[in-house]
């Protein structure tokens, strides 16, 4: 894709000042509207002329969508809160350090200053065929260019592929799933609250979008219950460069102990499948066991069962095995006994 | 030759234009069209209700500037091509290099990825706004001069703006923290060690200033 050094094609810019107005505008223009939060995902699409919305609804002026509020049961983070603000927030750092760590690993400082939590969880797939404007399944076509004998698919899925093999690239998503967060969505029918893991969609449901937002819907807030406040957290992101890059894979886990054994656990991995993957089989297998190398190893092996690698991403299987092992057994154990 | 003769000749030319001439004409005219299109062609789409003013006031380097801004225009474009503030560089235009970094309300942003219309009521600081009115350099600029931190220096203004923004949040960084602070900027000369030398000196100058 040639880089076009020119201004973007024209669109009309609408700048609502309230969430209600924003939702109304999205409802009015529906498929013709593009929702812009921080804009870090949007501008690539617009500058490359791959997406040409008639109307851009800029949410940056909607102050009620910004900020972190303490509620009776945890915290509520406005969808337009920047990643920097989340990473700096004292409550988040103290009680929900998993999320602070996850958002600190996103892209670069400038992008975190501008990028928002709502945008980070709602961003589109990074498959370069798709983003380069190729007429693939996700773009409404009839072919996947990544899943061919010569397709460049090093970053693509090892689980859950269904025609499209792109992965969800969000760093905050697995952390929010591990923290059992709830996503608050304003729709034309009113407010809808969904579990973090139900916010994301696989290609078997709708191949053209990564989340449940339909035209006219607006993600307004993310609520984190106090259930996992102060639990033992683990987050790790693997990427080619230490700045900017999307994850080759990341893992987020929250664990509670009783009598030295894992009592409760939630663990999720992203960039392995079209949607962030919560590892429920691993969760039930390690419950009641000590968080040591043996448990970690067992969990790692269990986690990758059923993985189907593509031509260039078989490395993701041992990577995922190791990340899950480290998330549960700790990082000091680095050798495999089998 | 009178105007009407001119017109007749043009009509004749239009009628007899060949495909080859048309293509040649497009090649010759293409550069002009593409250079001018941002100004004259882009806003041709029908205006929708709710469209705001195009003539807006921006607060750049402490001064209000009236400027005609398209809806889809990025801040980097406005600064460079409307306001002549070419100290802000456009490297990748994709939020991937950092050379367009400016401060918006003292926070570093990639100006290639900010719509100008979204910063109407905010304070924008570019490299041109760092030095004092009497010409005395900003401590970070002075440190870069003293340490000769950059080779080709295309990325320099972005690095300086990032460092100025970062030092406001952490005035006493370690070298590793400073590296983290300006990690959103790339230098293709790979001059990072010297850049960090100058930015560590910059931190020292800023604390003293």
A243 vs B: CB within 8 A: yes
Cβ-Cβ contacts under 8 Å, A56 against chain B: 71-72
Q: Counting one residue from A and one from B, how many pairs have CB atoms under 8 Å apart?
A: 105
pLDDT digits (tens, 9 = 90+) for B55-82: 999 999 999 999 999 999 999 999 999 9
Give the residue from A104, A75, A105, A109 showing the smallest Cα distance to A92.
Answer: A75
Q: How confident is the model at residue B8 (pLDDT cuts 50, 70, 90)?
A: very low
How many Cβ atoms from other residues are within 10 Å of residue A286's Cβ? Answer: 25
B92 vs A: CB within 8 A: yes
pLDDT digits (tens, 9 = 90+) for A67-100: 999 999 999 999 999 999 999 999 999 999 999 9
Judged on CB neighbours under 10 Å (0-12, 13-18, 19+), B67 is middle
As given in the structure block, the two tokens for residue B26 are 């497009």
Q: How confident is the model at residue B153 (pLDDT cuts 50, 70, 90)?
A: very high
Chain A residue with the nearest C-alpha to that of B159: A110
Cβ-Cβ contacts under 8 Å, B162 against chain A: 109-110
CB contact under 8 A, B94 and A43: yes
The model's pTM is 0.89
Q: At what angle do helices A316-329 and A293-303 cross, to 10 degrees?
A: 150
CA angle at residue B163 from A83 to B119, to 5 degrees?
55
**Per-residue pLDDT at B50 exceeds 70:** no
- pLDDT confidence of residue A6: 78
The CA distance from A185 to A69, in Å, is: 17
**Per-residue pLDDT at A23 exceeds 90:** yes
pLDDT digits (tens, 9 = 90+) for A217-269: 999 999 999 999 999 999 999 999 999 999 999 999 999 999 989 999 999 99
Strands (E), chain A: 12-14, 33-36, 55-58, 68-71, 74-78, 182-187, 190-195, 218-224, 232-238, 249-258, 261-270, 277-278
The CA distance from A45 to A41, in Å, is: 7
Interface residue of B50, B77, B159 to substitute, partner A, most A CBs within 10 Å: B50
> Rounded to a whole number, what is the distance in Å from the CA of B35 to chain A's nearest CA?
9
CB contact under 8 A, B71 and A13: yes
CB contact under 8 A, B109 and A14: no
Q: How confident is the model at residue B38 (pLDDT cuts 50, 70, 90)?
A: very low
> Rounded to a whole number, what is the distance in Å from the CA of A69 to chain B's nearest CA?
23
CB contact under 8 A, B90 and A5: yes
CB contact under 8 A, B108 and A3: no
Interface residue of A43, A110, A119, A244 to substitute, partner B, most B CBs within 10 Å: A110
**Per-residue pLDDT at B52 exceeds 60:** yes
Interface residue of A109, A239, A242 to substitute, partner B, most B CBs within 10 Å: A109
B44, B72, B162 ranked by CB distance to A11: nearest: B72
Sign of torsion over alpha carbons A320, A243, A39, A67: positive
- pLDDT confidence of residue B53: 81
CB contact under 8 A, B113 and A109: no
């Amino acid at each position: 894709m040639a880089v076009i050094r020119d201004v973007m094609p024209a669109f009309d810019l609408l700048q609502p000042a309230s969430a209600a107005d924003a939702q109304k505008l999205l409802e009015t223009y529906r498929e013709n509207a593009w929702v812009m939060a921080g804009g870090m995902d949007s501008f690539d699409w617009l500058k490359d002329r791959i997406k040409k919305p008639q109307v851009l609804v800029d949410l940056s002026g909607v102050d009620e969508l910004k900020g972190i509020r303490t509620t009776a049961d945890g915290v509520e983070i406005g969808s337009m809160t920047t990643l920097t603000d989340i990473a700096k927030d004292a409550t988040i750092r103290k009680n929900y350090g998993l999320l602070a760590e996850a958002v600190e690993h996103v892209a670069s400082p400038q992008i975190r200053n501008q990028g928002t939590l709502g945008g980070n969880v709602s961003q589109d797939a990074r498959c370069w065929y798709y983003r380069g404007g190729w007429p693939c399944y996700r773009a409404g076509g009839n072919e996947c260019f990544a899943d061919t004998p010569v397709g460049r698919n090093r970053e693509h899925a090892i689980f859950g592929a269904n025609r499209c093999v792109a992965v969800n690239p969000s760093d905050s998503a697995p952390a929010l799933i591990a923290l059992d967060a709830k996503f608050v969505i304003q729709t034309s029918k009113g407010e809808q609250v969904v579990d973090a893991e139900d916010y994301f969609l696989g290609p078997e449901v709708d191949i053209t979008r990564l989340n449940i937002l339909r035209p006219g819907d607006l993600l307004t807030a993310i609520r984190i219950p106090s259930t996992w406040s102060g639990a033992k957290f683990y987050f790790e992101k693997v990427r080619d460069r230490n700045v900017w890059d999307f994850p080759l894979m990341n893992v987020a886990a929250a664990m509670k102990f009783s009598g030295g054994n894992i009592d409760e656990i939630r663990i999720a991995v992203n960039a392995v499948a079209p949607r962030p993957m919560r590892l429920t089989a691993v969760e039930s297998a390690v419950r009641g066991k000590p968080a040591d190398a043996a448990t970690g190893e067992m969990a790692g092996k269990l986690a990758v069962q059923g993985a189907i690698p593509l031509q260039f991403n078989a490395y993701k299987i041992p990577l995922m095995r190791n990340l899950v092992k480290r998330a549960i057994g700790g990082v000091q154990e680095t050798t495999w006994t089998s | 030759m009178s105007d009407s003769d001119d017109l007749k000749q043009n009509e004749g030319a239009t009628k007899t234009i060949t495909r080859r001439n048309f293509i040649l004409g497009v090649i010759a005219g293409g550069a002009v069209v593409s250079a001018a299109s941002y100004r004259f062609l882009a806003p041709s789409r029908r205006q929708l209700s709710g469209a705001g003013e195009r003539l807006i006031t921006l607060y750049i380097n402490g001064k209000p500037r009236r400027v005609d801004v398209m809806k889809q225009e990025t801040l980097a474009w406005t600064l460079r091509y409307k306001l002549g503030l070419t100290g802000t560089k456009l490297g990748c235009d994709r939020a991937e290099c950092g050379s367009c970094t400016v401060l918006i309300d003292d926070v570093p942003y990639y100006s290639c990825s900010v719509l100008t219309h979204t910063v109407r009521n905010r304070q924008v600081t570019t490299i041109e706004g760092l030095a004092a009115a009497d010409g005395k350099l900003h401590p970070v600029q002075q440190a870069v001069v003293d340490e000769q931190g950059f080779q080709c220096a295309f990325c320099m203004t972005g690095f300086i703006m990032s460092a100025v923004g970062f030092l406001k949040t952490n005035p006493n960084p370690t070298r590793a923290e400073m590296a983290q602070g300006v990690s959103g900027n790339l230098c293709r000369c790979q001059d990072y060690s010297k850049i960090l030398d100058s930015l560590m000196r910059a931190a020292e100058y800023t604390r003293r200033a």
